[in-house]
Structure 1
């Protein structure tokens, strides 16, 4: 009987490899950063601070 290769590990969708493409969105008068990995930054009145949150998250990886 031929041997089969072991199955590949399941992808980790919560922590994908490589850079995280964090972006910002707006909800009313607030902006927040979010990422496909599930991370979401706090709501901010300052769009600049939301962008800084996104940059900081991307650099943590």
Structure 2
């Protein structure tokens, strides 16, 4: 729902299922990502707080 609302507001939204996917997307986009919006509880080995600290 958040991704849809941000898209409707004119933002380009990149979605990831888990932190490892998010890291791959962030690395591929280099400096093109300006905001990271994540949930604290995520599937996989890393939670949202760890993802935010990783970036």
TM over 0.5: no
Structure having the higher strand fraction is 1
Normalised by the length of structure 1, the TM-score is 0.28
Higher helix share goes to which structure?
2
